[in-house]
Structure 1
């Protein structure tokens, strides 16, 4: 089977105009800085914002062989579900509104924090979290990955409540639990 090599997304920018500190892969600290720099440029991200109540929207700002940068729009009820970024590091910054970030904790309730406009987060490969809408119509966040986010690990509970990790293309919309609505409600309350 041959996979298409042409991107389904067209970057909004051909360059990040000096926001990237150097050639080569970026560290999580550097990714966080790039995300902060992009969030401080509403002239770049505001044209890419959507207020779609049905689907969380994400627009590619920039990509090259070592990184990509995205603008994500969040409306009430929208979230990613728990996921990791496979081999990619991540830096994110809230550009408008508020998003909720949850970190999975083994044997305990998840850690939760509200990220307000200007707040940033970062993580290396394997960083597991979920992000959901907090406040703002829409809330907007900037996410930058290095290497480019080609794959993610999406965490799901099967019918027996066993955690499964599904490897999925990184350019698909991440969603909450995919099992039948309500089938695992009492189990999902732990997460």
Structure 2
């Protein structure tokens, strides 16, 4: 059974991420690493979701952000990442290693960072496809909007 057939039958975004992570020989390109910024490339898109490959060198990470109303999931292909979420006005860490992942809802705010000494590779799936991302700042235990970026215009 091909990866496309497997993905078409899946409805769970984390299952889709794991399917792609398990078949790196089927990716249309190899992961790349950029010391100046995180690297990412879209592996696939469908009517109800899109799949992205991301790489993370040690110290690289995101700002606190949401996915503009899209739900999502990610799985770690190699390396280890720390996901930070806001609970009770403070950042709470969850660590994910190879084969581990996390699914999240449409209004989930998080930050991801490679706090390890090894590069990391992840597969992310968003449904529906990303149209915007909101970046936040945590100040005095409260989230405030820093910026909103739009697909096609800002990335």
Decide whether aligned partners of structure 1 residues 136 and 96 sit closer, same or farther in structure 2, where only a CA change above 3 A counts.
farther
Which of 33, 36, 39 lines up with 2:21 in the alignment?
39
Structure 1 alignment gaps of length 5 or more: 1-14, 174-191
- Shift of the alpha carbon at 1:137? 4.2
Shift of 1:48: 2.7
Is it true that 1:154 corresponds to 2:141 in the alignment?
no
1:132-190 C-alpha deviation (Å, 9 max, x unpaired): 113364200100010001111111368xx9722522124756xxxxxxxxxxxxxxxxx
Pairing partner for 1:144 from 112, 117, 125: 125
Q: Using the alignment, how far apart are the partners of 2:133 and 2:28 within structure 1?
A: 26
Shift of 1:65: 3.1
**Residue 7 of structure 2 aligns with which residue?**
19
Look up the match of 1:122. Answer: 103
Structure 2, unmatched stretches of 5+, are none
TM-score by length of 2: 0.85
Please identify which structure carries the higher strand content.
2
Aligned to 2:34: 52
Alpha-carbon distance in 2 for matches of 1:45, 1:116: 21
Structure 2: distance between partners of 1:135 and 1:112: 14
From 30, 42, 52, give the equivalent of 1:70: 52
Aligned to 1:94: 76
**Alignment length, in residue pairs?**
150
Q: 2:150 aligns with which of 151, 169, 178?
A: 169
Structure with bigger gyration radius: 1
Point out 4+ residue stretches in structure 1 off by more than 6 angstroms: none
TM-score (norm 1): 0.70
